[in-house]
Structure 1
Amino acid sequence: MSIAPRAQRSPAQAPLPNPSGWLSTINPVVKILAALVPMVGLLFTRDVFTPALVTIGVTVVVLTGFKIRARDLAICMVAVALVVAWMTFFFALLVDTSQLTDARLVEIGPLSLHRQALRTGLATALRFVAIMVLALLGSLGTTTGQLASALVHQARVPYRFAYGAVATLRFVPRYKNDVGVLRAAHRARGIVDVPGPIGALRRTSRSLVPLLASGVRHAERLSLAMDARGFGAFPQRADRDPATLRVRDGVFLAVIWGAVAATYLFTARLGVLQMTAMLYRP
């Protein structure tokens, strides 16, 4: 009596799990719009509380909508704290102290720090962090294929430009892999550089020509493959998995814009909102 082997499901037939979180199910164009409008508004803010509240809210959305390892999250938090501290100190030194009326907190030789200058530096640093977090919100969970499809179907970008831009984005991981292969080849040949910036400069100069040659070969192969598939021969091109707009996309956009607008109204009612004179006068 023979026992028939159990049918195994091929990798192509296996269901593809979604380990990235619910942010990957949102239309890429909607995510870009949801992040772009608050970015423009943050460019005109001058207070500390508004960008801080926007950063906290967007961070909560990112952490709940995209799965991040605890180690990576801890590294990001430490990096953000260091960036905020450095930018606060740096921009505080750039403030014109002749127009400040408060007393000096610290004075080291020709350098002096005022409370108002530190507040201005902190507001600038928090505004920068808020814009970076919004940029993450607009890009996390989005693949190059989803972005190209959304640009073609929702943003009405010609598919020649959309897929051409996506093809150039895919050069980045390829260059990263080529750099790793070149460094391994150099070590195998016994080429060891001194540590520090001099060694990094030597390694970079040694890798430029091979990377350029590899990029030219890859671009030539890519152009031949696109021509062989008739890319650009017709005004429209079929999409295997076209991007669509769903109810969740509209809800996501409304929630993000509504939360940001509520943040501005809340800080304005508290009397702490400060913006350029073109848009707001307290």
Structure 2
Amino acid sequence: MLSTVDTAPSRVNPVAALAAALVIAVGLVLSVDWVSALTALGLELALVVALRIPLRALLSRGAVLVLAAGLTAVTILLYGERSGVVHWEFLLVTISDGSITLAIATFLRVLAIALPSVFLFIGTDPTELADGLGQLVRLPARFVIGALAGLRLVGLLGQDWRYLGYARRARGVADHGRIRRGAGQAFALLVAAIRRGSTLATAMEARGFGAYPTRTWARPASFGWRDTILICAAFVIVAVAITASVGTGHWNFIGSR
């Protein structure tokens, strides 16, 4: 279980991790340049080492992130801003100095913005996050607990998909027509998910969930010095990245485009 991994994020309140990720995302989205993105990315990797994030867990989750950032960069490379020397052109596709620079900046920025959302939540228990959102952020308990219940059911979708595949193969209807089989199986999975959600909603209402505007919490959520340090580290990362970008003359505010 990821919740049993003894890492610094697992000892930090998930609300603090969420706040730190939001601070970095908001700070880095203000400019599209490679200097601030690369600076923030380097500081985030240093934070990964300081928090003792398991390398295997980071790589398994970061691989998808690198793929998504790469695909975004390729799109910008082919259809981005045309400026400077044009290296290749075909119909709507144009690769120029401007599109190359913008693609590199976009790749680094996607990594820098999304990476904290990956490593800060390794080892985080969704129940602890719900406790923090309900007690510290004061979000409505009905919304928080309902979202937590739905999140718990997401993990069952993969198991349901496998069981549906086994059942279809046992009936001999999964031997051909892969596209048609996948569409039918996806519809069956949707129906099963709706039925399970309706059953869960009925069970929660039968137990009095949401009957009163207030509720008690089984586990109190606290905000300690580790949480404060993590949020301050996020502000430092953003401040250093912006300072480096402005100081080198690469600051490119998104509103100016």
- Shorter-chain TM-score range: 0.7 to 0.9
* Other-structure match for 1:180: 162
- Corresponding residue for residue 204 of structure 1: 182
Relative to structure 1, is the Cα distance of residues 217 and 93 closer, same or farther in structure 2, using a 3 angstrom cutoff? closer
Q: Does 1:263 align with 2:250?
A: no
Going from structure 1 to structure 2, the CA distance change for 1:182 and 1:60 (only over 3 Å counts) comes to farther
In 1, are the aligned partners of 2:23 and 2:234 still within 8 Å (CA)? no
Q: CA deviation at 1:84?
A: 4.5
Pairing partner for 1:157 from 139, 143, 148: 139
**Aligned ranges 1:70-219 → 2 under 5 Å:** 73=59, 82-97=67-82, 100=83, 102-107=84-89, 111-194=93-176, 199=178, 201-219=179-197
CA distance change for structure 1 residues 158 and 109 in 2, over 3 Å: closer, same or farther?
closer
1:277–1:105 CA distance, 2 compared to 1 (3 A): same
Match of 1:48 in 2: 34
How far off its partner does 1:151 sit?
0.8
- Call closer, same or farther: CA 1:82–1:245 in 2, change over 3 Å: closer
Distance 2:74 2:143 in 1: 42
> Structure 2 unaligned runs (5+)?
none
Which residue does 1:226 correspond to in 2?
204
| Match status 1:249 vs 2:227 | yes
SS at match of 1:105: strand
- Offset from partner CA, 1:154-189 (integer Å, 9 cap, x none): 110111111011111122111221111111222233
1:153–1:189 Cα change, 3 Å: same
Paired positions, count: 254
Give the direction of change, closer, same or farther, for the CA distance of 1:34–1:108 in structure 2 (3 Å limit): same
Task: Measure, in 1, the Cα distance between the counterparts of 2:228 and 2:253.
Answer: 29
SS where residue 254 of structure 2 aligns?
A: coil
CA RMSD of aligned residues (A): 2.8
Q: Compute the TM-score of the two structures, normalised by the length of structure 1.
A: 0.78
Alpha-carbon displacement from aligned partner over 1:22-47 (angstroms, at most 9, x marks no partner): 10121111111111122122222121
What is the rounded CA distance, in whole Å, between the counterparts of 1:81 and 1:172 in structure 2?
24
Q: Which is higher, the Rg of structure 1 or of structure 2?
A: 1
Q: Report the residue type matching 1:56 in the other structure.
A: G
Answer yes or no: is the 8 Å Cα contact 1:186–1:192 preserved in 2: yes
Per-residue CA distance 1:99-152 (angstroms, 9 max, x = gap): x2x222334577442122200121122222222213224533322211110111
**Cα separation, 2, equivalents of 1:164 and 1:128:** 30
Residue in structure 2 matched with residue 30 of structure 1 by the alignment: 16
Residue type matched to 2:17 in 1?
Answer: K
Query: Which moves more between the two structures, 146-155 or 60-69?
Result: 60-69
Residues 47 and 274 of structure 1 are in contact (CA less than 8 Å); yes or no, is this contact kept in structure 2?
Answer: yes
- SS of residue matched to 1:230: coil
Q: Which amino acid aligns with 1:202?
A: R
Alignment-mate amino acid for residue 24 of structure 2: P
Q: Is the contact between residue 20 and residue 67 of structure 1 (CA under 8 Å) also seen in structure 2?
A: no
Given residue 85 of structure 2, which amino acid in structure 1 is its aligned partner? A
User: Shift of the alpha carbon at 1:69?
Assistant: 1.8
**Structure 1 contact 31–137 (Cα < 8 Å) conserved:** no
TM-score, structure 2 normalization: 0.85
**Which structure has the higher relative contact order (CA within 8 Å, separation 6+)?**
2
Letter in structure 2 aligned against 1:119: T
